[in-house]
Amino acid sequence: MKTYGGGRVGLLGSFPKLSSMPRTTLPEIAFAGRSNVGKSTAINTLLGTKKVARVSGTPGRTQLINLFTIEERMIFADLPGYGFAKVPDRVKANWKAMIEGYLGGREHLKLVVVLVDSRHGPQTLDAEMIWGLRQASLPVLVLATKVDKLKRSKRGAALKSLREPLGLTTKSLIPFSSLEGLGTKETWKVLNDVAAGRDLEF
């Protein structure tokens, strides 16, 4: 297994579908969201490294489900992004099936971190993802990404415009910026609670 950060993080592998993934027992946390929203970057920021998850300015960079073990305490799953227009419908359908198959069938999945772009307000695909997860009784934490691109004076209103329609609370919607390192502490608090099997406060 390839390791990073002095062995703290290991790449378990990249998988095209649920049935090819290894059976594991650690609590697993998935990172989902639209293509290019900053999932892979957020994983790197949370882990304090630039190298673990592959980042790109080109949407659709992450095409397989990548699993990382974190300190033998938990597993992160970096999912391919949804909503990327520039791929053929057949490929889109395949990605959707891969993501839904994973989310619906992964045994130790304990939390889905859904990343939404803080600048754009709630998007239909994000709302569908969040409501679908709730229906499946999967806890959801939302990170509002790239807040560094919003003026400080606009951040409060931008968060409110996401919080209310998506049915979130101040605890389940965290403003996040990989550039500024904003939101990492609050996010880790939730991830650590999940890894330790503690009840979430939202």
Ligand X SMILES: Nc1nc2c(ncn2[C@@H]2O[C@H](COP(=O)(O)OP(=O)(O)OP(=O)(O)O)[C@@H](O)[C@H]2O)c(=O)[nH]1
Please give the residue ranges that form the binding site for ligand X (CB under 6 A).
33, 35-41, 55-57, 59-62, 80-81, 145-146, 148-149, 177-179
Considering beta carbons, is residue 77 or 111 the nearer one to Mg ion? Answer: 77
Strand partners, 92: none
Residue 38 binding: pick among Mg ion, ligand X, none (C-beta 5-8 Å cut-off by kind) = ligand X
Residue number closest to ligand X, CB atom: 81
Considering beta carbons, is residue 55 or 75 the nearer one to ligand X? Answer: 55
Enumerate residues 15-44 that contact Mg ion by CB under 5 A: 39-40
Considering beta carbons, is residue 37 or 141 the nearer one to ligand X? Answer: 37
* Closest approach of Mg ion to the CB of residue 78, in Å: 6
Q: What distance in Å separates the CA atoms of residue 179 and residue 37, rounded to the nearest whole number?
A: 13
Residue 110 binding: pick among ligand X, Mg ion, none (C-beta 5-8 Å cut-off by kind) = none
- Identify which of 124, 170, 179 has the alpha carbon closest to the alpha carbon of residue 147: 179
- Identify which of 86, 78, 91, 95 has the alpha carbon closest to the alpha carbon of residue 32: 78
Q: Which stretch binds Mg ion (CB under 5 A): 19-27, 62-70, 105-113, 164-172?
A: 62-70
Q: What distance in Å separates the CA atoms of residue 14 and residue 36, rounded to the nearest whole number?
A: 19
Among 44, 62, 69, 145, the residue binding Mg ion under the rule CB under 5 A is: 62
* Closest approach of Mg ion to the CB of residue 201, in Å: 28
Q: What distance in Å separates the CA atoms of residue 172 and residue 110, rounded to the nearest whole number?
A: 15
Sign of CA pseudo-dihedral 166, 74, 23, 38: positive
Interacting residues with Mg ion (CB under 5 A): 39-40, 61-62
